[in-house]
Amino acid sequence: MRSALSDLRLAWLLTRGSDRREWWRAGLTATGAALATGIALVVVGLLSLDGFHSVSFGSGLFDSPSDRRNVSLTLGLLLIPVLGFLGQCARIGAVHRDRRLAALRLAGAGPGQVRRIAALESGLACLAGAAGAAAALVPLLPSGTVWAGAVLVVAAVPVLGAVVSAVALRRVVADPLGRVRRVPVVRGPGRLFRTTVRVLAVTAVGIALTPVLGSPVSFGLGPVTVFVLAVLLSLTAIWLSGVSSRQLGEGLAAGTGRPALLIAAERLREDPWATARTHAAVLLVTVVGSGFAGVRQILLADLADKRERGHLAAHMTYYTTGIDLMAAAIALALALVLTGLAVGTAESLATRRRGLAAQVAAGVPHAVLSRALLLETALPLLPAVAVAGLGGAAISFWYGAAVSRHTSVPVPYTALLVPVGVYACCLLAAATSLPLLRRSVRQGELRYA
């Protein structure tokens, strides 16, 4: 207990003495924690309502318990990209964190202790964000048993943020001389990744052969099946991103004469799975977004046809509100993963600033380094996003084939437009770090090499 309090006190002192770069990390972490707290509090508020309630907004979508559970599930899934964003924020300022950890090691702290202190720093930022979100939202929640849930959420978010940060920093070990142990990445996905892919593949095949579902129509409409397929396709795209990074790096390094391509190829060949880890959430959102875009087009056409025939069980806005809510949730998830991508690109620049400064000192123009930075994102992401988009489109086409047995539906072409938009947004997110490039390649960094 005394050791934990000592680590917490050190984390607080380090947080108070942070410089401007560290405050950027703390601010982004607090923002992610506030968003997670807000989502969780809304879910708690919805689930706390019993029976039928007439809600003034939402066109009746929040009136019945079953609808509220469905909305809560949709909102709860947003916590996945939020937690990924918190993990990305924990890696910001790695260079400055390494120096602090080295000083703690010189003072006698062990590797596990410095990891705990670094995780507690993120936990304090999460506590500030969670407290701010709770102060704004708790007065709006219904009274009663929901208060216990709100207190649990506010207490759990900082703990969860610290755990996510500890996982993100599990490889950070500083030696007493202030240097970081750097081990070349020579292996691909870990055992957990391979096991998850096998389990999901077996599950998908098992559901397809289950007599209860029986037909491809039931298989295509089964929510569990769609979820399993979405995650399986995302993991496949992540694996493709790592494999393509290695192949592109080796092929371009051997055959290109363009400086920007050569620099990007060497970076991809050096750590081919770094891009796959960074793009994991992007690919998951691409699969879900592509599938939803096609399903949304089909649903709206089907609802319009039923309205003309007078077969709708409720008002049209009841259905469109739910569809729009799902679209807003996916758009928010995309905004989060794009922010995480921009943060990861900026952190990559900060981590490699000495090597970039050496290249500038050797005469490499800033324009070449800028193009190389964009190519590091564009080259491996293109095939992965294409596969993720085609997988999501396949789900929507499958759904369209099932619905077409009962009514005529349009071709869900919007599903094919989503990966194009996501790819363009990813390039724009990576481009936001270009102004940081000129500031990161000052030749004064060479004195620390």
d(CA 272, CA 259): 19
Q: How many CB atoms lie within 10 A of CB 1?
A: 5
d(CA 156, CA 79): 13
- C-alpha to C-alpha distances, 306 to 87, 113, 313, nearest whole angstrom: 45, 63, 9
Residue 74 in contact with residue 326, Cβ under 8 Å? yes
Q: Can you give the pLDDT at residue 102?
A: 66
d(CA 11, CA 8): 5
Q: Can you give the pLDDT at residue 192?
A: 65
For the segment 244-291, what is each residue's pLDDT rounded down to a tens digit? 777 777 777 777 778 888 888 877 877 777 777 778 788 888 888 898
For the segment 415-448, what is each residue's pLDDT rounded down to a tens digit? 999 999 999 999 999 888 888 777 766 665 555 5
Spans in the chain with pLDDT lower than 50: 174, 178-186, 212-221, 449
DSSP-assigned states of every residue in 148-181: HHHHHHHHHHHHHHHHHHHHHTTT--B-TTSPBP
Residue 240 in contact with residue 197, Cβ under 8 Å? no
Q: Can you give the pLDDT at residue 364?
A: 82
Residue 396 in contact with residue 293, Cβ under 8 Å? yes
